[in-house]
Structure 1
Amino acid sequence: MKPQIIPSLLVGLAGSAFAGAPLLTTPAPEADAFANAITPISNPTFQGNALPQTNVHAIYMYHQLPNTISAAGTQVDLGGDVNVFAVQLEYAFNERISLIATKDGYVDMNPDQTLSDSDGFANLAAGLKYAFIYDPVSQFVLSGSAVLEVPTGNREVYQGYGDGAVNLIASALKLHNGWQFSGSVGTRLPFDGSEESTTGFLSSHISYHVTEKFIPLVELNWFRVLSDGEGQGASLGQVLEFDGLDLMNFGSVNGRENKDTVTLAAGARYKLTDRVNVGAAYEIPLTAEEDGLTASRLTVDLVWTF
């Protein structure tokens, strides 16, 4: 190599380095550490993604009601189904904090016996989510959410009772070699304890990227009535021996007679693109179905992240 070429080469390399051009390879951006994180499917009203991100989450539920339910000291015939259509929204101001709208939608109830067919809108709920721990290196996020639910819904579908409630939720997310471990725990605190019960929940999620696009998942949900209502809201609150789970709260006088409900959901997500994925999960109760309102539930959703 000619001597005069060497200084020119060194100057060129130095200029590239100071300009930020890579000499070999460039590490992936921190945001890419969570590129494989997915949103849980079951219990969408309370369980979410711990990661703050801007997205639209469209949800459809086909919920089958038990043939009989525990009420007024006996078994009352019910059966039928409930259809729910909803859209959740989230806007991330940065990687730490986001504005979330977690509850809305339209409810169509079709009982076979005892109750009449009805339909109407659900309550509205929105709040803030903040990531107390945001660690791209270890692919771990721990966040907290405070959500205000207002009684805007129709009473025909057991919404609109009480003075509203606040949902306090902690969520965690951990990614590792294609696996995702995540979960949420929290409580729903009504402002009027005479019309609505105080409830808590714990939801967990495990999934694995079998391929880049296909991700099977399993989720477990535990709901508990922490404090009975006084049955001054929905009329069913006077006779039911349990209370609602994620969507409805009856303020049941005897809700703690069957205070625990546990459900298991299994399904999968499929990535249509880097920003759009669809999911489906089938859910069944592990506790006695007559001691709640769930015989089974199919949830289908679409998440668009941008």
Structure 2
Amino acid sequence: MNTLLASTLAGSLCLAPALAGTVVPEITMAAPTSSTSDGFANARRPISNPTLFDLALPTTNIHPLIMFHQLPDFVQTTAGLVPMGGDVQVYALQFEIALTDRLSFVANKDGYVDINPDTTPLWSDQSGFANLGAGFKYAFILDPASGTALSGTMTFEIPTGNHDVFQGEGNGGVNLILNGLKLVGDWQFAGSAGVQIPFSDQQATSSFVSAHASYEVCKYFIPLIELNWFHVLDTGDGRPNFFSQAGGAVPVIAQFEGGDLLNFGAGNAFANRDFVTAAIGFRSRLMDNVDAGVAYEFPLTSEENGIMKDRITVDVVWKF
């Protein structure tokens, strides 16, 4: 019954514009604007991997998001399987300011982190602020006629966060990212690839590749699928750190890294240097300049070799 009701509601939302068109015989076209005539009006931001995976277009927008991230019941370490469990909640507000048609300032990382582990006192219930990250995005290719864009992003992460939530360590770092976008009718294909380079040997150097595909069934229902691959290029030095969690032993015994949000500096991360996730969800265009999205993300690699059991991300993108 619930499935039938949901299908009926989704169908009603998608058919509403068409039914409205049959009632009003005369259609008045709105005057073109810079957003509706540039070929990118319906481009939508990816949802997963939000601190690294961005739309190739320079725009002005604010992007509030919430993550509900479940931790694995056990994680792999040099001492064997260690119990964990629990959840992490992240509340963040990203924003972007277009300086020209091709150049924008991006604030890609901030927020508040709340860690609620099941296994205490090994893991500690802590909360605090994430590191700050910001930089610039520049579009090398911006072709509205073909719906094609290619841009480069350089952001710097500053270790301003709280140690209790695995932030605030090292000397910061730089992210170098290439973003691509292609619109084909109601389809959208997007991707990003980049490297995260720390400014000290304490933390790991890693690369990532993210991909997105979506199809606009109607403006209220735009299903999407995304893939993310994180790869450790060079491990951290493995020195004890983050002492409120597992007595500071995480960088010493962990056999994996922290994916998109964390950098443990784990000295044994080569044991499980690849972390792959998939996300499924949808966006809904609430207004011409506002859309909301939700995605369910889960690991394709073993959940014991990372810190994700699953994750739900909910966001809003408000363009100006």
TM-score in same-fold range (> 0.5): yes
In structure 2, the partner of 1:18 is: none
1: distance between equivalents of 2:276 and 2:164? 26
Q: TM-score, normalised by structure 1?
A: 0.89
Tell me how far 1:26 sits from its aligned partner: 8.6
1:262 corresponds to 2:276: yes
Q: Provide closer, same or farther for how the CA distance between residues 26 and 156 of structure 1 changes in structure 2, counting only shifts above 3 A.
A: closer
Q: Provide closer, same or farther for how the CA distance between residues 27 and 119 of structure 1 changes in structure 2, counting only shifts above 3 A.
A: closer
2: distance between equivalents of 1:188 and 1:53? 23
Spell out structure 1 runs of 4+ moving beyond 6 A.
25-28
Computing the radius of gyration over CA atoms, which structure comes out larger, 1 or 2?
A: 1
In structure 1, the partner of 2:230 is: 223
1:72 corresponds to 2:86: no
In structure 1, the partner of 2:147 is: 139
* 1:156 equivalent among 155, 164, 171: 164
Secondary structure of 2:287's match?
coil
Question: Counterpart amino acid of 2:165?
Answer: V
1: distance between equivalents of 2:282 and 2:301? 23
Does the 8 A contact of 2:38 with 2:145 survive in 1? no
2: distance between equivalents of 1:107 and 1:303? 21
Runs of 5+ consecutive residues of structure 2 not aligned to the other structure: 1-29, 243-247
2: distance between equivalents of 1:170 and 1:241? 28
Q: TM-score, normalised by structure 2?
A: 0.86
Q: Provide closer, same or farther for how the CA distance between residues 28 and 98 of structure 1 changes in structure 2, counting only shifts above 3 A.
A: closer
Question: Counterpart amino acid of 2:59?
Answer: Q
Count of equivalent residues? 281
Does the 8 A contact of 2:39 with 2:147 survive in 1? yes
* Root-mean-square deviation (Å): 1.4
Tell me how far 1:192 sits from its aligned partner: 0.5
Q: Provide closer, same or farther for how the CA distance between residues 29 and 119 of structure 1 changes in structure 2, counting only shifts above 3 A.
A: closer
Tell me how far 1:94 sits from its aligned partner: 1.8
* 1:51 equivalent among 47, 57, 62: 57
Tell me how far 1:231 sits from its aligned partner: 1.6
* 2:87 equivalent among 81, 87, 102: 81
233-242 or 120-129: bigger deviation: 233-242
1:208 corresponds to 2:215: yes
In structure 2, the partner of 1:35 is: 41
2: distance between equivalents of 1:151 and 1:123? 5
* 1:172 equivalent among 169, 180, 200: 180
In structure 2, the partner of 1:15 is: none
Q: Provide closer, same or farther for how the CA distance between residues 28 and 159 of structure 1 changes in structure 2, counting only shifts above 3 A.
A: closer
